[in-house]
Amino acid sequence: MDNRPIGVFDSGVGGLTVVKQIMKVLPNENLVYFGDTARVPYGSKSKETVTKFSEQIIRFLLTKDVKAVVIACNTVSSNCYDDLAKKFENLPIIEVVTPGVESCLKATKNNRVGLIGTNGTVSSGAYERKLKKSKEDISVFKRACSLFVPLAEEGWIDNEVAKLTVKEYLKGLVEKDIDTLILGCTHYPILKAVIGQFVGEKVKIVDPAKATAYKLKECLEKNDIINLSLKEGNRKFYVSDNYAHFDKICETVLKYTCKAEKVDIEKY
């Protein structure tokens, strides 16, 4: 039995949607979450900057003796995963793009797929390359939805501003006759209800978070580091700024009382 915690990180609150699924799939695992709330968003930053930030965060998580790390951020997963896996070669690292692609391939019937994400994720082409590798005839219609992250961070998830923003970004995708929509940013499931209202029941919404949790479980079992305890796991949360606001959103997403600690991430 390995009761060391699993590290999870994101640019802000979005990764909590992945934590939510991990808590369901692996309720006995201890978790350490870091949200880089001082430097959010990542999607508009260069690959070099995002890689530097991610390396700092992983070094911090290693001080908590994590046994594996989940990159709960599509921008990092699509741009920096290979570099991070090489840098921390002895640390199991799970990204969110591959599970999202696998879920999408199972869901689509007409091979017309919508992808929404940050500028960094959409421009990387990571989702499109992986999808076309499995299905050459698949059509991927992409849209960067930059304002979704600040809406999620602010907690504006079901008001008129959110509805109008979703309509403005997604009306073009719906017109492409897509039957599947990948939420290519872990912040976006926080807006899932209003997104679902707009795209309608004919469009299957793919949230990579659930598949990521199962991919993590496979990784832990493969490396023989799963926690076999019957006790519910401990969860600790760290942020780089504004932890009171983070706590509020954390409780909304996880239904879990959260008391995040502020960390000077620049030291790592």
Q: Catalytic amino acids?
A: 73, 185
DSSP annotation of 181 reads E
Q: How far apart are CA 18 and CA 16, in angstroms?
A: 5
Q: How far apart are CA 43 and CA 250, in angstroms?
A: 21
Give the helix ranges, DSSP H, for 63-158: 74-87, 97-107, 119-124, 126-134, 148-154
Q: How far apart are CA 68 and CA 65, in angstroms?
A: 9
Pairing, β 180-184 against β 204-206: parallel
Which residue is it, tokens 């991927």?
140
